Amino acid sequence: LRAIEVAADNGIIMLADVWLDQQDTMDALHTLFAGFAHAAPPIAFIFIGDFASTPFVPGSGATAQYRDRLAALGQLIAGFPEIARTSQFVFVPGANDPWGPGALPKPHLADCFTAKLRARLTHATFATNPCRIKYCTHEIVVFREDLLKRIRRNCVLPPTEGTEIVRHLVRTVVDQGHLCPLPQRIRPVYWAHDHALRLYPIPDLLVLADRFDAYSVNYEGCHCVNPGSFSAGDFSFFMYYPVSRTSQYSKIPRK
């Protein structure tokens, strides 16, 4: 597995808040895919919700609109045959994506929304939130939650002066071994599935997708990144290299 990992270290791309209902987002994604059209395709693209700029509300044609936006993404990716054939595509829903109540973990996007997208992509996986990805010798955990704001609002011991707020968040999550160390009244969790939020053993890569500014932090052998908000920000994303266990921050210039 290690030999396979070294031979194909093309990187894993992570994007969060990919609002498919905005044309400038689709244009930015086209630019992103075009950049890899004549190079080695990435190992995987991890698309993290929300996938629309407004919360999903059932009725009034919302289901058809949501399905068509995902289908449009599939059509866009299919325009780059080598990427569509080679790369893996993972979709992790956000809080405003359908459906399920507000408790964690959040189920994957329903088949009725993803059928047209799956028809165009051979290697598409629709994961829960949070989810775990196993790549060769690497374990990757992806979690979409505005966690920094929640933890700062409910912390018992605030960080001391001079402490980096991002490092404080990562230490809190990793040291407690749980993705959401908050009371049930603050962030409900299905008791039967609480194990899905546990972080033991510590993963190699922890993706804490948040509306906060993008960052990358190394702590206790875990590389933790937040790709930031792709559509609401400056089209930023991270590319992670499993062999070197490093990540590279990038962004696509707005037109």
Neighbouring C-beta atoms of residue 176, cutoff 10 Å: 12
Neighbouring C-beta atoms of residue 115, cutoff 10 Å: 12
For residue 118, count CB atoms less than 10 angstroms from its CB and return exposed for 0-12, middle for 13-18, buried for 19 or more. Answer: middle
Q: What is the CA radius of gyration of the chain?
A: 18
Q: What does the block give as tokens for 94?
A: 């956000």
Q: What is the spatial distance between Cα 181 and Cα 187, in angstroms, rounded to a whole number?
A: 9
**Whole-number pLDDT of residue 10:** 86
pLDDT in tens, 164-196: 899 999 999 999 999 999 999 999 999 999 999
pLDDT in tens, 44-75: 999 999 999 999 988 768 889 999 999 999 99
Least Cα distance to 48 among 170, 253, 232, 207 occurs for 207
- For 200-237, b/e burial (b = at least 16 CB within 10 A) is eeebbbbbbbbbbebbbbeeeebbbbbbbbbbebebbb
Instruction: Kindly tell me if the per-residue pLDDT of 252 is higher than 80.
Output: yes
Percentage of the chain lying above the pLDDT 70 cut: 95
